[in-house]
Amino acid sequence: MGGKAALLLVLAFSALFGIMGTQMLRTSNEATDSYVHYYKKTKAHDLAVSGANMAVNEIFMNKSWKKGYSNLTADYGIINVWVDSFGYNNRKIFSVSDFDGYKDTIMVWLEPKNFAQYGNFYDMMAAWAATGDTFSGPFHTNDNLLCYGDPVFLGFTTTKKGVKLNNNKSFPEFHGGLQEGVEIPFTFDDTPFKNAALSNGKVFYDTTGSNKIVDVSLELKADGTVDYSININNKGWTATKNTPLTTLAPNGVIYVQKGNVYIKGTLNGQLSVMAGREGTNGAGVIHIADDVRYNVNPLTNPNSTDMLGLIAQDFVQVDFNLATGTLDLHASIYSARDGILIEKYKDYPDARIMNLLGGVIGKKVLPTAEYVWDGKKYVVSHGYSYVHRFDERFNKVVPPFFPLTDKFRLVAWKE
């Protein structure tokens, strides 16, 4: 009886182990299949990502690149990439991979970064960032970043040639980080702006047909209208006309073909103004005649839709005015051949402040004040220091047809 029991026990264990072995083998096979599935799926995904990255790099190096890749062999798989254009100078990349029958697709959207998305951008540093100057938002220069005393940089700061201190008493503050060796071309294609002005905006030009310089005075009104007058060839100003801004320039674009703009007031709406130079000395200047403010200040009401772009093909000037005192300037400013100039800043009898909400983008940064050493630090003695606040709305929405950089930025990546 004992022998039979032992035999039955052995047979039972053999059957049990047979069943368990089959299950273990099945489990092992399923695990192997799952691993192979995961491996092939991952390889297909990685190949699609690689194709998208290669295409993005090609476009960053050459913005006109649209060739794509056809049946590119990589790591035992195939990659196909094609590039579509959409909107104005935007790109969409499709990267499709195939690894042993497993496919994956990556879509990438690129667009040029807008200059309004910088708080400050200077191709050259012809003056020093100095004590009393506070810079908000992204800051970039293609030159040495010159620091005199204790300027404050609140946003991410980039410079091609590094930081250069005036002396051992200079201690700039970088609160948003600093990166050196970064170059961003200072270029501007004005064609889209001119086309917008011609199609649904407003163009001011010499109506006498003599191709003379045209000066335009704009006084913005809080009710959404604008007072304007013109002066052709310096022969005298016309009578002032008042009209709704949306009637004068429905798409918010005003272009002075060859002339200068004198602007002040309170803006209710969205507007970009360009003073064209057209190769003529004495044209292409925007004059800040007095305060330029938004009707609804986005610092107190983030839902404000008021925004202004000032684009000078020569330079932007704050006109000398002893009565101005503290100056409010709400705009993103682009100065193609110079910077923002404080007229006769040494002639101001005291230190003043310019509250800038928006940004300054210029060929070079210009001096705005004189400084003295008070025994502890450099302080303004004459002219304007400016306290700058970047308009955070410009990260997403910018003034109409404001200039674009020459480089693309990644807007979306969909896997």
Are 87 and 183 in the same domain?
no
3-class secondary structure, 111: strand
Are 105 and 142 in the same domain?
no
The pLDDT value given to residue 32: 67
The pLDDT value given to residue 19: 66
Asked if the structure places residue 321 within a domain, the reply is yes
* Nearest-angstrom CA–CA distance, 326 and 291: 9
Asked if the structure places residue 51 within a domain, the reply is yes
Instruction: Print burial letters for 244-272: b (CB count within 10 Å at least 16), e (below 16).
Output: ebeebbebbbbbbbbbbbbbbbbbbbbbb
Asked if the structure places residue 414 within a domain, the reply is no
Are 340 and 237 in the same domain?
yes
* Burial class (CB within 10 angstroms; exposed 0-12, middle 13-18, buried 19+) of 346: exposed
Number of domains within the chain = 2
Asked if the structure places residue 4 within a domain, the reply is no
The pLDDT value given to residue 64: 84
The pLDDT value given to residue 89: 77
Asked if the structure places residue 287 within a domain, the reply is yes
Which of 52, 80, 113 is the last residue in one of the domains?
113
Are 274 and 390 in the same domain?
yes
pTM listed for this prediction: 0.80
Are 93 and 241 in the same domain?
no
Which of 113, 131, 158 is the last residue in one of the domains?
113
Phi, then psi, of 351 in degrees rounded to 5: -90, 135
Are 152 and 35 in the same domain?
no
Which of 92, 113, 134 is the last residue in one of the domains?
113
Asked if the structure places residue 13 within a domain, the reply is no
Are 336 and 310 in the same domain?
yes
Q: The domain containing residue 246 runs over which residues?
A: 114-404
Are 88 and 192 in the same domain?
no
Q: Where are the beta strands (DSSP E) in 129-221?
A: 129-130, 134-135, 139-141, 145-148, 152-153, 157-159, 163-165, 173-174, 178-180, 202-204, 214-220
Per-residue confidence in pLDDT tens, the chain, 415 aa: 566 666 666 666 666 666 666 666 665 566 666 777 888 899 999 999 999 999 999 988 888 899 999 999 998 999 999 999 877 678 999 999 999 999 999 999 998 889 999 999 999 998 888 887 888 999 999 999 999 989 999 999 999 999 999 888 899 999 999 999 999 989 888 999 999 999 999 999 999 989 999 999 999 999 999 999 999 999 999 999 999 999 999 999 999 999 999 999 999 999 999 999 988 899 999 999 999 999 999 999 999 999 999 999 999 999 999 988 899 999 999 999 988 999 999 999 999 999 999 999 999 888 888 888 888 777 889 999 878 899 999 998 999 999 998 878 788 899 8
The pLDDT value given to residue 188: 84
Are 86 and 165 in the same domain?
no
Are 67 and 165 in the same domain?
no
286-309 pLDDT per residue, tens: 999 999 999 999 999 999 999 999
Are 149 and 290 in the same domain?
yes
Asked if the structure places residue 99 within a domain, the reply is yes
The pLDDT value given to residue 16: 63
Are 109 and 238 in the same domain?
no
Asked if the structure places residue 8 within a domain, the reply is no
3-class secondary structure, 236: coil
380-411 pLDDT per residue, tens: 899 998 788 999 999 989 999 999 988 787 88
